[in-house]
Chain A
Amino acid sequence: MTGYQLRMRNELERRYNHLRMQSIQMANQALRTPDVRLSLVDNASYRAFEQWQNHPNRKVDWNWPTSWHSWKIHYPKRFECATWQGNKLIGFAMGRPTYQATGLRLDYIEKSPKASEPHLDLTYLALYAYATLLGATHVKIMSPINKDVRDYYESKGFKYDQKSDSCIRRII
């Protein structure tokens, strides 16, 4: 990366970090459930992830901290969110705007097998806020891992698009 590219990237990081923090803050203010909150992803999230990283009921074997590092470097406009119940991590989510920023993709989401609070509903608050601040008209969750998950998204107002293997929900 040249010096100019690095400066551009850092400027984008600064601008979009402000929007990311704003969207998390707005989502937290809208929440009515005590003891539940959202945050950006940080070292505390990684430490909390260790509590269920090796859980036998996980459906995927993603190493969030490692992938996150790469994601953060390459996507300064990224969406990111961790959801919490008290000091227990409910789950992670990360995404990025579409090429022309008409939409916001949720590229990865995972809920802890030990958590009971609804991770998608909580994540959607921050996703909706970030998408609205960006001026996007839709959000889409990429590659649901199975039919149960896909059906669940559809029950939440998303529509499955086979071509892109994603579940899309228009935001007003």
Chain B
Amino acid sequence: MDDSIKNFDDAHNKKLKHLSKEEHAKTGLKKLSQEMEASKGKIKEPEGLASGATDKGGEMIIDLEEDFNDDE
């Protein structure tokens, strides 16, 4: 990553740490939206983009068991 971008990101991240959750989200969203606009059309989203577990019948698996390790 270019040093100037890295410095900008570091400064941005430092700024976010002092904000409330709402302000943090708003500031982060503004940056994400700018990035989204700048990268529009550069990388094409795969056709039929999908993610998720499917059972043998082709349906979603609504797994009601808690995954105690999914924070790792």
Contact = CB atoms under 8 A, between A and B. Distances in A.
Given A30-B30, A102-B71, A133-B21, A145 B51 contact: yes
Interface string B11-33: 00100110001101110111011
Nearest to A63: B59
Given A26-B25, A67-B62, A171-B28, A142 B71 contact: no
A23 B43 CA distance: 26
A128 B37 CA distance: 17
B22 A111 contact: no
Interface residues of A, number: 60
B68 to A, nearest CB: 5
Contacts of B29: 26-27, 29-30, 125, 128-129
B38 to A, nearest CB: 11
Interface string A114-130: 00001111001100110
Which of A23, A27, A30, A149 gathers the greatest number of chain B CB atoms within 10 Å? Answer: A30
A110 interface: yes
Given A108-B60, A113-B47, A128-B25, A30 B32 contact: yes
Interface stretch (A7-15, A42-50, A52-60): A52-60
Contacts of B28: 128-129, 132, 171-172
B68 A62 contact: no
Given A22-B22, A145-B51, 5 more contacts: A61-B58, A98-B70, A118-B36, A125-B33, A172-B17
Interface of A: 22-23, 26-27, 29-33, 57-63, 66-67, 70-71, 74, 91, 98-100, 102-103, 105-111, 113, 118-121, 124-125, 128-129, 132-133, 135, 141-146, 148-149, 152, 155-156, 164, 171-172
8 contacts: A60-B48, A60-B50, A71-B62, A103-B70, A108-B60, A109-B50, A121-B36, A133-B25
